[in-house]
């Protein structure tokens, strides 16, 4: 056992320090199976103090650290580099909900709480914590903060950055910053918590957070709507917002190939409509109104959309079970794609109104270099965010497919750049998009990012090889 591992075992207990290669393996490969790293050890702190002790021991030995939450990230951010020189810090044991404060609409959760546990704790206090992702049973709050997660309710409630009131962080030198304030107003200087949100573990380890709660909606109305094309989907979003205002909580685009993958690979999934359509949106309204009034509002909006040619068919859920079945079609797309095999993924955003142009131009440019290209499109159209993925055509082998990534990225990301968009809307940069990010950000912006990194982590010990 090396000196660092011995010191870590002494600090937090040998049973929480794993250095056996087989026991470490599940922590060292990412969810997509795209990256596998190596580590000196995996450590599992049970408290903020233990996390600080770990960081102090690693910092004094000049050993880099890789924070990990639920390991559901899609950019290799939580996977150590193959050099094997770092310690992986898994936050999963810190899973206490410290407080639920309904009067102040705030909750304090430790970094290792699953997102689903936070949602349930809020519900227990008759409140809503609105962040919602398909991975919510496995991803952890610290990971959600560190990736500034988005998901399916950003349209109404914003992404994680909008939902965090305060954070507690262990800094790269082992000091603890307790910024767990749950104030709505606090203009006492730089808003430091923002630095750690979306930092992907490169500036410190988040150990707890104060999160914003909302009144719990009493009713939801859900519909699966077939639209003639993406332009109609964008116009339907406007119509929905004009008629239903803030009640529109989700507006998800699902292309035909994405739906087909779910129907093909996920058991018990049923096509929601009788006909076959190229484009669909999954729409949800939520409100304190009673259920019938909300259903009526959604049905009348869809009828108006069909009358004006913005929609061609729709299924409105008439029970909670039906609503869940519609959501399952959307939420299983990533899983179905994983089962289908290797894919080249993009997580882009452009202004909502530019989405139809993006889809048309990207499809034309990709088809020109790759006539049998299989494009799988889905995502949070209401936020201008699409998951624009390429599945491997059957005839091509994996190595040849991966070799095309650079050419494909150039087409997709150059177009995103031309439309004033982002090459990573919600998944982050990690290892996967580090070079791409450097290509598309201005030198000034990269300089500012490097200056922040140097100021907080001068020895580069926090999650090296990620983001910048
Ligand atoms: P991890 O994967 O463990 O880590 C992610 C990054 O955060 C890494 O860089 C890691 O070092 C860092 N990190 C983790 N914990 C801490 C901590 N406590 N302190 C400092 N740094 C830390 N994402 C979305 O935004 N929207 C979606 O709709 C969405 N859908 C998904 C669906 C599926 C099926 C899957 C598998 C993933 C999806 N994701 C989505 C991606 C992923 O779930 C999110 O990025 C999530 O926020 C990651 O949380 P995690 O706990 O798994 O973090």
CB 396 within 8 A of CB 329: no
Q: Where are the domains of the chain?
A: 3-90, 97-215, 219-334, 341-427
Q: Is the pLDDT of residue 3 over 60?
A: yes
- Domain 219-334 and domain 341-427 have a common topology: yes
Joined tokens for residue 146: 């560190």
146 CA distance to ligand 1 middle (Å): 7
Question: What pLDDT does residue 376 have?
Answer: 97
Name the percent of the chain in helix, strand, coil, to the closest 5.
40, 20, 35
* Protein residue with its CA nearest to atom 28 in ligand 1: 151
Task: Compute the average pLDDT of residues 305-317.
Answer: 98
Residue 295: CB within 6 Å of ligand 1?
no
Reply yes or no on domain 341-427 having CATH 3.30.70.2740. yes
Percent of the chain residues topping a pLDDT of 90: 93
Q: What is the pLDDT of residues 75-102, one digit of tens each?
A: 999 999 999 999 999 999 999 999 999 9
Q: Is the pLDDT of residue 394 over 80?
A: no
Task: Compute the average pLDDT of residues 397-406.
Answer: 89
Q: Is the pLDDT of residue 387 over 90?
A: yes
Question: What pLDDT does residue 371 have?
Answer: 85
Q: What is the pLDDT of residues 335-365, one digit of tens each?
A: 999 999 889 999 999 999 999 999 999 999 9
Ligand 1 atom nearest 199 alpha carbon: 21
Mean pLDDT of the chain: 96
Three-class SS of residue 82? coil
Residue 334: CB within 6 Å of ligand 1?
yes
Residue 112: CB within 6 Å of ligand 1?
no
Q: What is the pLDDT of residues 111-126, one digit of tens each?
A: 999 999 999 999 999 9
Question: What pLDDT does residue 461 have?
Answer: 98
Q: Which CATH number fits domain 97-215: 3.40.50.2300, 1.10.3720.10, 3.30.465.10, 3.30.470.10?
A: 3.30.465.10
Binned at pLDDT 50, 70 and 90, residue 375 comes out as very high
- Cβ-count burial of 357 within 10 angstroms (0-12 exposed, 13-18 middle, 19+ buried)? middle
Dihedral of the alpha carbons of 321, 322, 324, 329, in degrees to the nearest 10: 140
What stretch of H or E contains 354? Answer: none
What stretch of H or E contains 165? Answer: strand 164-170
Binned at pLDDT 50, 70 and 90, residue 230 comes out as very high
CB 53 within 8 A of CB 170: no
Which positions ≥6 away from 378 have C-beta within 8 Å? Answer: 252, 253, 254, 255, 258, 330, 333, 386, 387
Plot region of 430 (φ>0 → left; ψ -120 to 50 → alpha; else → beta): left
CATH topology of domain 219-334: Alpha-Beta Plaits (3.30.70)
Angle formed by the axes of helices 230-244 and 355-369, to 10°?
160
Binned at pLDDT 50, 70 and 90, residue 291 comes out as confident
Give the predicted TM-score (pTM) of the model: 0.94
**ipTM of the complex, rounded to two decimals:** 0.99
Domain 3-90 sits in CATH at 3.30.43.10
Determine the distance from the C-alpha atom of residue 12 to the mean position of all C-alpha atoms in its chain, rounded to a whole number: 31
Residue 198: CB within 6 Å of ligand 1?
no
Query: Bigger pLDDT: 281 or 398?
Result: 281
Binned at pLDDT 50, 70 and 90, residue 395 comes out as confident
CB 176 within 8 A of CB 213: no
């Amino acid at each position: 056992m090396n000196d660092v591992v011995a010191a870590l075992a002494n600090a937090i207990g040998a049973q929480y320090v794993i250095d056996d290669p087989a026991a470490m393996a599940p922590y060292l490969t990412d969810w997509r199976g795209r990256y596998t790293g190596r580590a000196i050890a995996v450590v599992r702190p049970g408290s903020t103090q233990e996390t600080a002790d770990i960081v102090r021991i690693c910092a004094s030995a000049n050993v880099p650290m890789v924070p990990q939450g639920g390991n559901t990230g899609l950019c290799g951010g939580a996977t150590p580099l193959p050099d094997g020189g770092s310690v992986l810090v898994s936050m999963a044991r810190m899973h206490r909900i410290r407080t639920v404060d309904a009067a102040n609409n705030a909750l304090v959760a430790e970094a290792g709480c699953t997102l689903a546990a936070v949602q349930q704790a809020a519900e227990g206090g008759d409140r809503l914590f609105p962040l919602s992702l398909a991975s919510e049973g496995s991803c952890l709050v610290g990971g959600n903060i560190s990736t500034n997660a988005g998901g399916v309710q950003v349209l109404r409630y914003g992404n994680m950055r909008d939902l965090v009131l305060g954070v507690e962080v262990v800094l790269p030198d082992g000091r603890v910053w307790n910024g767990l304030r749950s104030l709505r107003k606090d203009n006492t200087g730089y808003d430091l918590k923002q630095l750690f949100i979306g930092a992907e573990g490169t500036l410190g380890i988040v150990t707890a957070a104060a999160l914003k709660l909302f009144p719990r909606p009493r009713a939801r109305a859900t519909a699966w709507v077939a639209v003639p094309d993406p332009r109609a989907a964008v116009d339907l979003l406007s119509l929905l917002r004009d008629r239903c205002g803030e009640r529109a909580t989700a507006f998800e685009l699902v292309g035909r190939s994405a739906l087909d993958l779910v129907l093909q690979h996920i058991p018990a999934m049923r096509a929601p409509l009788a006909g076959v359509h190229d484009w669909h949106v999954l729409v949800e309204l939520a409100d304190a109104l009673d259920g019938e009034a909300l259903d009526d509002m959604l049905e009348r909006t869809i009828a108006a959309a069909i009358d004006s040619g913005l929609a061609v068919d729709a299924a409105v859920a008439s029970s909670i079970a039906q609503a869940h079945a519609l959501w399952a079609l959307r939420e299983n797309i990533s899983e179905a794609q994983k089962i289908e095999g290797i894919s080249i993924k993009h997580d882009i955003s452009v202004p909502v109104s530019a989405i139809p142009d993006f889809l048309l131009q990207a499809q034309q440019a990709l088809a020109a270099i790759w006539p049998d290209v299989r494009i799988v499109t889905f995502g949070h159209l209401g936020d201008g965010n699409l998951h624009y993925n390429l599945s491997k055509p059957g005839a091509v082998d994996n190595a040849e497919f991966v070799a095309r990534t650079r050419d494909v990225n150039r087409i997709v990301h150059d177009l995103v750049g031309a439309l004033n968009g982002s090459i990573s809307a919600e998944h982050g940069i990690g290892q996967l998009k580090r070079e791409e990010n450097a290509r598309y950000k201005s030198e000034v912006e990269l300089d500012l990012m490097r200056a922040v990194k140097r100021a907080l982590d001068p020895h580069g010990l926090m999650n090296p090889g990620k983001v910048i």
